[in-house]
Amino acid sequence: MDLPELQEKVPPPEATEPETEAAAPGESPAGWLASRGRRFQLVLFGTAGCLLLAGIALGIWGAVGLYQEKKAAQAREKAAQAMVEAVPRIVFRDFSVPLQDGNGYRVLLISFVAEMGNKRKQADLNSNAGVRRQVLNAIRMRGADLVTSAEERELLKQDLVVLINQILGEGAVTNVYLTDFTLI
């Protein structure tokens, strides 16, 4: 089916944009900024420049602050490391202690660190069978209650301090820290 052709003529659209006249020689084109006075333009550009300089200054200040904080953190880490190295310690590793628990045995895996007093240096006692046997007996005396009771763990620490001081001499060990404590 063919549609019949329309014989109407459509008028061309009128120009919707206002025609601007070209600026006369020597005059600046009329724009938002150009229509403002010179004083306004100076204030506007001065404010933008001040904001730009303030942003740059804040960025530099933040970068210097981060650098100083990083440097202070490194100094604190060095001081902490020096303090750790200043206090000699003996590390006792991998004690496997069978503990009787109700109707069977459970195995306690324990490691601890003994902090030495008076800046005293001591050789590693992990390979000394006599010391290991005495430590195992001290742990066995506390029994399976070590797992459930914090008071029993504190008593074990005190027992270990006394025991190691008996072996090395009075005042040799000031404190004991339990590092690994696992009941299987």
Q: Please report, to the nearest 10 degrees, the dihedral formed by the alpha carbons of residues 130, 135, 138, 140 taken in order.
A: -100
pLDDT exceeds cutoff 60 at 62: yes
pLDDT interval class at 121 (50, 70, 90): low
What's the whole-model pTM score?
Answer: 0.52
Q: Given pLDDT bands bounded at 50, 70 and 90, which one contains residue 2?
A: low
pLDDT band with cut points at 50, 70 and 90 for residue 51: very high
Cα dihedral 129→130→134→135 (10° resolution): -40
Q: Give, to the nearest 10 degrees, the angle between helix 129-142 and helix 150-168.
A: 150
Lowest mean pLDDT among 2-11, 34-43, 98-107: 2-11
Sign of torsion over alpha carbons 129, 130, 135, 140? positive
